[in-house]
Structure 1
Amino acid sequence: MADQDPVMRVVDRVFRKHGVRPRRRRRAKTQRIVDVALEVLGEYRPMTVRQVYYQLVARHIIENKRSQYQAVSIALRDARKWGEIPWEWIEDRLRRPRRVSMWHDLAEFATTAVNSYRRDVWETQEHYVECWLEKDALSGLFEDVLRPYGVTLNVGRGYDGWSSIRNAAMRYLAWERGNDDDEEEPYPEEVLPKTEDSTEVLNEKLRGFLAVADARKAFSANPLKHRPRPVTVLYFGDFDPSGRDMVRSLEKRINFFGTYPKIRISALLRSDIDEYDLPPDFAKKTDSRAASFIAEHGDISVELDALPVTVLLKRLEDSIRDIMDLTALDEVLQAEKEDKSRITLEWRAKS
């Protein structure tokens, strides 16, 4: 490790005086981990330890091994404890306190309310888009990109539960069908019985028919003011057996409720692994989906976190901008800005 800076020399001397062992001199490899982690966090933050780890793997600083993950975790812990990396640059998304929102006075609350005001950007869009993300660790970075565009983010953390799927299907039904046409829409061919169907197939179709009927009933009871328009789901997940199967499962279960959005895999792609020289891992042979995945893609597996953050977020934003009407979006955002100014002036005049 390089010579300590003057401040850390004082810290070590004071700690030693009080009988506390000062920090040990780092090995060159550990110092390299800290130095590159600082570079990564200097570009995008906050990140989780796991995200930093995969960025180090992608830059070939360390190998993709469990022991190396532990080494990174310890190095980042010590670097924060010694003030080399700010604590707020590393986040733990799984352990967050549920704080109660409170304000000093009405003026502070009014400021919060004004800042939270958003016009519905989708009222003037011809195409509705949402983003589905497999990894919760990346959700903070995704939210920062999606927020200005008003795009909904769904974080799956694996296979979504049926309640989440149904809620999504209800949103997509609203956009696909709108609520301006009172004509009864025919039921999907997939849920209609045929004379040649077996008992097992008929039972499955019955369940599907009831699901579609239930979704339409709930939608009709509380219709949203939407015009009919196409729906696209942008999916970001790992390149591995489960990651690819989640897309199949998502599409099948959403279709179960009679809505058929276009689901586009935005990342991670097989071409990304080659183009960005991403460090591969072997597909888990214990995964029941491994055989078919390996047959199609080969014995390779890479997590979404390994893709350079700049590349990942640019792809996310470019995908959104390719679908949305940017002129209409700018008009809504300008009207929103004017609304906020008017609300602020009216509040100040009354207070």
Structure 2
Amino acid sequence: MKEEFIKIKFSAKRLGLIQEVNKVLDKYHTLGFTLSGRQVYYQLVARNIIPNDKHSYKRLNSIISDGRKAGLIDWAMIVDRTRGTREPPHWDKPLDILEQAVKVFAIDKWADQSNHIEIMVEKDALAGILNPVCQKMDVNFTANRGYSSDSLLYETGLRIYEKNREGKIIYIAYFGDHDPSGLDMDRDILERLKMYSGVPIEVKRLALLMDQIEEMDVPENPAKTTDSRYEGYIVKYGISSWELDAVEPPELERLVTEFVEGLRDPDPWDAKVEIENGMKQELQDVVDAYKEENPDDEE
């Protein structure tokens, strides 16, 4: 929704950039994605509309901020996933929560599978892209926010230990930046999870990889010279680094889908889906019966 709070007179150049921002937002909104400010920035860099540097990023953020407040950019199409308010759930009437139960009800469709899969990402800002596809594939998703905490990995270790006791093979797929620390994080995850769980684990990095960077022509940034791993990094990759935010959201979604489907046995999966659908129908029957007995609740 576009909503004007203040009057701002924009130059033709700034108005042109706002139009380009809206083109990006409209495209991904149509595909079902809501972007972060940084993702919008990289989309404009990839289109050669703005240069890839700190000044351009700060300038774009300022223009987006003004454009939203002036009613030129839809507030709902850009999201800040690093901050948020957690509101307690409320319901106007019993029928509302009954109908919601039908929508959200799900069983563990991996219960009869031989593999256990979890998806991890370095950045919380990409949770809005990866979490929905993980929910669709019924696998755990974790945003580590850099090097993951011991508390989080300890809890993950306990969880995968139990899955291993059930006879499952453990797979962790990881998404991270291609920079000195980003390339080290999957190693760190593997070592600590093995320590906390005491079971065999495979950690596979799905992105970013150098062949993906070259194939997708991902915009580059200078690697941070202050990173303690900088010297070892530049020996292998040079002085450039690349951010996961610059990858097209559908590509990230595709990587998760193909990885999970490659480790999923379709027969027990389809059987679980059929069972789940039957149970959801049972819930829908309860809703329908409630509506007949309480017609006023539908108003």
TM-score, normalisation: structure 2:
0.88
- Asked whether the equivalents of residues 172 and 231 of structure 1 are also in contact (C-alpha less than 8 Å), the reply is yes
Residue 324 of structure 1: how far off its partner (Å): 1.5
User: Which residue of 150, 153, 167 corresponds with 2:141?
Assistant: 153
- Asked whether the equivalents of residues 40 and 55 of structure 1 are also in contact (C-alpha less than 8 Å), the reply is yes
Does 2:50 correspond to 1:59? Answer: no
User: Which residue of 156, 159, 163 corresponds with 1:168?
Assistant: 156
Residue 177 of structure 1: how far off its partner (Å): 2.2
4+ long deviations beyond 4 Å:
none
Partner of 1:251: 190
Residue 347 of structure 1: how far off its partner (Å): 4.2
Does 2:235 correspond to 1:295? Answer: yes
Q: Match for 2:44: what amino acid?
A: L
SS at match of 1:123: coil
**Inter-partner Cα distance in structure 2 for 1:317 and 1:36:** 30
Structure 1 unpaired stretches of 5+? 1-10, 179-227
Partner of 2:296: none
User: For 1:1-351, what aligned pairs fall within 5 Å after superposition?
Assistant: 22-28=7-13, 30-44=14-28, 45-178=33-166, 228-257=167-196, 258-349=198-289, 351=293
Distance change in 2, residues 1:83/1:327 (3 Å): farther
Structure 2 unpaired stretches of 5+? 294-299
Distance change in 2, residues 1:69/1:177 (3 Å): same
Partner of 1:219: none
Aligned-residue CA RMSD (Å): 2.0
Residue deviations 1:261-298, cap 9 Å, x none?
10000001111221122221121111101111112222
Partner of 1:7: none
SS at match of 1:339: helix
**Inter-partner Cα distance in structure 2 for 1:37 and 1:328:** 44
Q: Match for 2:56: what amino acid?
A: Q
Q: Match for 1:116: what amino acid?
A: V
Distance change in 2, residues 1:175/1:76 (3 Å): same
Q: Match for 1:270: what amino acid?
A: M
- Asked whether the equivalents of residues 121 and 149 of structure 1 are also in contact (C-alpha less than 8 Å), the reply is no
**Inter-partner Cα distance in structure 2 for 1:278 and 1:86:** 27
- Asked whether the equivalents of residues 58 and 278 of structure 1 are also in contact (C-alpha less than 8 Å), the reply is yes
Aligned residues, how many? 283
